Amino acid sequence: MRDLRKENKRSVTQDNNHAPAIRRSKTESIGERRNVIVSHHVVGARAKKAERKSVNKGENLVEGGSKNNNLNMEGERRKKSGNRGDNDLKVEGKRESKSKDLAQAQVGKVVMRGGNKGKRESKRSDSRRQRNPYYFSSERFQTLYRNRNGQIRVLERFDQRTNRLENLQNYRIVEFQSKPNTLILPKHSDADYILVVLNGRATIMIVNPDKRQAYNLEYGDALRLPAGTTSYILNLDDNQNLRVVKLAIPINNPGNFYDFYPSSTKDQQSYFNGFSRNTLEATFNDEQEDDEQWHGQEQSHQDEGVIVRVSKEQIQELRKHAQSSSGKGKPSESGPFNLRSNVPIYSNKFGNFYEITPDRNPQAQDLDISLTFIEINEGGLLLPHYNSKAIFVVVVDKGEGNYELVGIRDQERQQDEQEQEEVRRYNAKLSEGDIFVIPAGHPISINASSNLRLLGFGINANENQRNFLASSEDNMIRQLDKEVKELTFPGSVEDVERLIKNQQQSYFANAQPQQQQQREKEGRHGRRGLIFSI
């Protein structure tokens, strides 16, 4: 018992000996907590002070939770933001580098401005251009002159759209329109012209050093104007606007031509302005008091521009000695000829096809250009065909329709990717004023959703041959040997022969054959026949 009491006493003594250490430990813990609390208060005070300064400076601080934690989180966010900023700068640099490379690769590309909307429109425009580089809407014209009496405009260059049209780099399409009782002032150009009247009536005056000729022009009349020929055109009609389309072949600079006017207007200066006063005085053997009289600064009657109004009396006088076009027969050496005056080379109830080839047209023989005029009645189809060597530039005169042109994908891409040649279909809806190009060897078909009228200029047209791929006459496929047909097309020779001979029309046909109309009435699609297996 005595030993037990000694052991308890020894234990209590040890506990008492440890008590000061425990109290010191507790005191130190309390002190540390006080220091931490004080530190938190100090940090909080500093944070509040910093917050007030930030607010005064217009900065936004994220609130919530401990101020100290906020500061730490803010530091982390800034660190991450800095890293993201560096990454964004790197990515942006790569994007800029890539965009510069693309910009250098796309030479001649039209840059559209206007923010994101402009970029989207540019992408859509480039996409359309890539899908069909052979189609030019009427919006692709650039205005040269315009006033209240009319306008003169020119289509963009063909070779700027695609390198596939490089052979058309020296051919341009020009169109001018003028209101009734107006005159396009005299001028000459460094380009040969073939002009065609597509609306209204006109009188054209052609001036040479030794004579002056006047011709009356009407719808469908065509005429060649050699380079350097001074001419002026009068719209003599009281009601109709005049519309004339010209194929221009520049002489000096491929793809570019210039008009030279002897008079100065608000639109252009006289070519006399380019000469010095001494030269002009010696040329006209007349001395003027000042340069203004020579250089046309005192002008009032030509402030309208290059298209001016004329009186009834002036019209009567100008057209007094004018000649009309040379009716039927071969075009003459000079003077207008009408594209529809002769019998069409292809014709049936669905359409008419007129053509004047270079060998029958002395005016265009040295230019190697043919002229075509096509009429496709509503619901009609110009059957698929291709031209052996001529490239046709076609102007939509009137009406609406659609065309399908067959081409081959870019050969450079095929070689790089080592893929099979891919046939592509280029199609577009047609309306008045549109232009499209038919390259040589490319099959094409055209159908009319309303009465469609087309004017065509055939480039490199001498000895061109038009090959129809489906027609009861002049059908190139029909001329193949039976053995070759069997080896070329799927199915039996009898099936191929039946398919080829199934079309009873020549050149023009119904755009919706009776079988298709019957299927549409019955709601049937029919089975896939031999034609879809070719």
- Give every residue of the chain whose pLDDT is below 50, as ranges: 1-45, 47-51, 53-76, 78-129, 297-300, 414, 527-528, 532
Q: What is the per-residue pLDDT for 514?
A: 55
Q: What is the per-residue pLDDT for 186?
A: 96
Q: What is the per-residue pLDDT for 125?
A: 45
Q: What is the per-residue pLDDT for 440?
A: 97
Nearest Cα to 233, choosing from 217, 222, 247? Answer: 217
Q: Which CATH superfamily is domain 135-331 in?
A: Jelly Rolls (2.60.120.10)
Strands 307-309 and 182-189: antiparallel
* CB burial string 489-521: b at 16+ within 10 A, e below: bebeeeebeebbeebebbbbbebeeeeeeeeee
Query: 428 with 402: CB under 8 angstroms?
Result: yes
Contacts of 274 (CB under 8 A, 6+ apart): none
Residue carrying the six token digits 């936004």? 60
Helix, strand, or coil here: 394?
strand
Q: What is the per-residue pLDDT for 131?
A: 76
pTM of the model: 0.71
Residues of the chain with CATH 2.60.120.10: 135-331, 339-409+421-515
Q: What is the per-residue pLDDT for 501?
A: 75
Q: What is the per-residue pLDDT for 173?
A: 98
Fold for 339-409+421-515, please state it: Jelly Rolls (2.60.120)
Instruction: Give the tens place of pLDDT for each residue, 314-328.
Output: 999 998 888 887 666
Q: What is the per-residue pLDDT for 473?
A: 81
Question: Distance between CA atoms of 511 and 500, rounded to whole angstroms?
Answer: 17
Q: Amino acid identity, residue 439?
A: P
